[in-house]
Amino acid sequence: MPKRPANIVRNPGKRWFDRASRARDHGNLVEAEAFFRRSLALRQKILGPEHPAAAQSMNHLANVLFEEERYAEAEPLYRESLTMRKKTLGPEHRDVASSLSNLANLLLNTGRPAKAERLYRQSLKLRKNIYGPRHENVAMCLSNIAILLQNTGRSAQAETHFRKALAMLEEVLGPGHPLTGYTRANLADFLRLTGRSVEAIPVVRQAYGDLRAALPTKHRYVWWARKVLDDLRKS
């Protein structure tokens, strides 16, 4: 009887997980959901329902549901994967910080900004402890907090956070990296919403050009930069 490849034995569900991630990057969310569900089911069956790999698949499945605005389905998955990660990895693990931020994104998008802010700040503190003060994961958490500050009327603080996050990403990843471009697009949208469209246009054009060069056409970051650019043209 032929042996299964060693990587499949050691990491069941990885093939489905990788296929799901590629589908998500190309904007194929229906396909991504199906593959993440297969990865989750396989990992739960072979590794157990609380294994960190199962929590990883569950968290990424929730990300897809979140992008589809299926918030009621995504929230219990985010909460369960966060609980699993705290239990199996410990409360100060980097995956816990990621889960905190993901759940905060959902809370913000479902009208619970105070609860979201508490989780974002927990995630930020963890990430600074894990990675140090200047890291892309710290910068992305700052960018998330900036969006929350923007949505809750604290524009001056929001701009400070956006610019700090962008400067950090330019330093640690470079100006053309997708995370840098995405954050640049977020800054441009902030400038648009605060009545500074003239200032925003060159910012989003750079973001859109960099993202188009680095990512598939239907990637969520490219879609977002294009939307910001279209909104600016209409304003």
Would you list the DSSP string of 64-120? HHHHTT-HHHHHHHHHHHHHHHHHHH-TTSHHHHHHHHHHHHHHHHTT-HHHHHHHH
pTM of the predicted protein model? 0.90
Mean pLDDT score of the chain: 94
Report the distance separating Cα 150 and Cα 173, nearest Å: 25
Collect contacts of 22-31 with beta carbons under 8 A, ≥24 apart. Answer: 24/60, 24/63, 24/64, 24/67, 24/220, 25/215, 25/216, 25/219, 26/216, 26/218, 26/219, 27/216, 27/218, 27/219, 27/220, 27/223, 28/218, 29/64, 29/67, 29/68
Band of pLDDT at residue 8, cut at 50, 70 and 90: very low
Q: Which of 213, 221, 190, 206 is nearest to 67 (CA)?
A: 221
pLDDT at residue number 133: 95
User: How buried is 31 (Cβ within 10 angstroms: 0-12 exposed, 13-18 middle, 19+ buried)?
Assistant: middle
pLDDT digits (tens, 9 = 90+) for 121-146: 999 999 999 999 999 999 999 999 99
Tokens standing for residue 51 = 């294994």
pLDDT digits (tens, 9 = 90+) for 52-80: 999 999 999 999 999 999 999 999 999 99
Residue 1 scores a pLDDT above 90: no
Residue 7 scores a pLDDT above 70: no
Tokens standing for residue 162 = 């956006």
